């Protein structure tokens, strides 16, 4: 898979939930996965879909977690996969939650918090479906 530059910077597109799932299955902390490869914060950003690892970093993380690199890669097609949808919903939830902390009237902030909660719940449902269906 080619590296690309975009909103999330250079790196390969991965399935963030696969990284989190593999780390938890291995019983490792963010710091343990990152040790000698990248920062703990970087692994957290990869798992949150906020950053993309370089191919080299992904290969080292995959080896540490005992999974093939391909298992972490997002679908090669131009359209988003179901894991990408879960990530996009989580990101939208965070943005709406941030908006709810602005100087809007109380009613509008309350509505935004409900929307954010709904987006979070939807992202969890999509992630469960993706996990059940597999890569």
What pLDDT score does 85 carry?
80
What pLDDT score does 88 carry?
83
Q: Which of 80-116 are b and which e, b meaning 16 or more Cβ less than 10 Å from the residue's Cβ?
A: ebbbbbbbebbbbbeebbeebeeeeeeeeeeebeebb
What pLDDT score does 124 carry?
87
Instruction: List the beta strands (DSSP E) in 23-133.
Output: none
Please count the helices (runs of H) and the strands (runs of E) in the chain. 7, 0
pTM, full prediction: 0.54
CATH no. for 16-72? 1.10.260.40
Ordered mean pLDDT values, 10 residues apiece, the chain (135 residues): 46 90 94 97 93 94 93 68 77 91 94 94 84 61
Q: How far apart are the C-alpha atoms of 45 and 41, rounded to whole Å?
A: 6
The structural domains of the chain, with segments of one domain joined by +, span 16-72, 82-133
What pLDDT score does 76 carry?
52
Q: How far apart are the C-alpha atoms of 122 and 56, rounded to whole Å?
A: 32
What pLDDT score does 128 carry?
81
What pLDDT score does 74 carry?
81
Task: For residue 73, list its beta bridge partners.
Answer: 14
Structural contact between residues 8 and 50, judged by C-beta atoms closer than 8 angstroms:
yes
């Amino acid at each position: 898979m080619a590296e690309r530059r975009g909103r999330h910077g250079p790196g390969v597109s991965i399935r963030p939930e696969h990284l989190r799932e593999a780390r938890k299955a291995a019983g490792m902390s963010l710091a343990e996965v990152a040790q000698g490869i990248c920062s703990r914060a970087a692994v957290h950003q990869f798992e949150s879909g906020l950053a993309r690892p370089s191919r080299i970093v992904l290969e080292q993380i995959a080896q540490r977690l005992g999974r093939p690199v391909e298992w972490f890669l997002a679908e090669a097609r131009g359209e988003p996969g179901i894991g990408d949808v879960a990530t996009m919903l989580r990101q939208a939830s965070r943005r709406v939650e941030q908006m709810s902390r602005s100087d809007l009237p109380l009613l509008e902030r309350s509505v935004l918090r409900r929307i954010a909660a709904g987006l979070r719940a939807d992202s969890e449902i999509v992630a469960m479906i993706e996990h059940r269906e597999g890569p």
